[in-house]
């Protein structure tokens, strides 16, 4: 996407043969200016070209069970290595809050709204483990601003 200084959620209507990222991304229309974070792209009814049929500023879905005092903004991270479909390693772009953090961390993100519940449940498990013998000192919540 053209603008990496904010989180944007795009819904793209595609044909069955266009579901690959390398086919979709080159066809995307220019990103609209303005303060928005959710957009919908579809084919124009007259010429068939992709266009933004709508874009708006909305409250994006997020993890609600935030228990750890240290939180990291998604935009402070650079994805490094793909591990599986929604799991990557990442590096911090700079120090966070003046604290130098580990060089590499593992990040997970929900690709679909129904996956948020998986991370809600996982976060609750980390909360219960916090003072137990299996607790990790590096379990933080990463969110969008």
Q: Express each pLDDT in 67-103 by its tens digit.
A: 777 777 777 888 888 898 888 888 887 766 555 566 6
* pLDDT number for residue 1: 36
For residue 38, being part of any structural domain is answered with yes
- Regarding whether 81 and 45 lie in a shared domain, the answer is no
Q: What Å distances lie between residue 133 and 92, 128, 137, CA to CA? A: 27, 11, 11
Question: How many domains does the chain divide into?
Answer: 2
The pLDDT-based confidence of 64 (bands split at 50, 70, 90) is confident
Q: Residue 141 in contact with residue 123, Cβ under 8 Å? A: yes
Q: Write out the residue range of the structural domain in which residue 108 sits.
A: 74-134
For residue 40, being part of any structural domain is answered with yes
* pLDDT number for residue 18: 60
pTM score, whole prediction:
0.56
For residue 61, being part of any structural domain is answered with no
Does residue 55 or residue 143 have the better pLDDT? 55
- Regarding whether 130 and 88 lie in a shared domain, the answer is yes
The predicted-structure confidence for 40-54, as pLDDT tens digits, reads as follows: 988 899 998 889 999
Q: Kindly tell me if the per-residue pLDDT of 137 is higher than 80.
A: no
For residue 122, being part of any structural domain is answered with yes
- Regarding whether 78 and 129 lie in a shared domain, the answer is yes
Q: Residue 43 in contact with residue 34, Cβ under 8 Å? A: no
For residue 31, being part of any structural domain is answered with yes
- Report DSSP letters for 13-24, one per residue: ---GGG-SHHHH
């Amino acid at each position: 996407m053209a603008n990496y200084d904010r989180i944007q959620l795009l819904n793209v209507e595609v044909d069955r043969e266009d579901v690959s990222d390398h086919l979709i991304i080159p066809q995307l229309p220019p990103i609209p200016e303005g303060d928005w974070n959710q957009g919908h792209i579809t084919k124009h009814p007259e010429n068939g070209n992709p266009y933004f049929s709508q874009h708006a500023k909305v409250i994006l879905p997020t993890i609600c069970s935030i228990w750890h005092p240290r939180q990291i903004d998604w935009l402070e991270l650079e994805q490094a290595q793909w591990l599986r479909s929604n799991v990557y390693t990442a590096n911090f772009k700079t120090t966070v809050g003046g604290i130098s953090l580990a060089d590499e961390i593992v990040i997970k993100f929900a690709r679909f709204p129904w996956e948020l519940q998986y991370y809600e449940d996982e976060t609750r498990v980390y909360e219960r483990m916090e003072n137990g013998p299996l607790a990790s000192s590096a379990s933080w919540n990463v969110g969008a601003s």
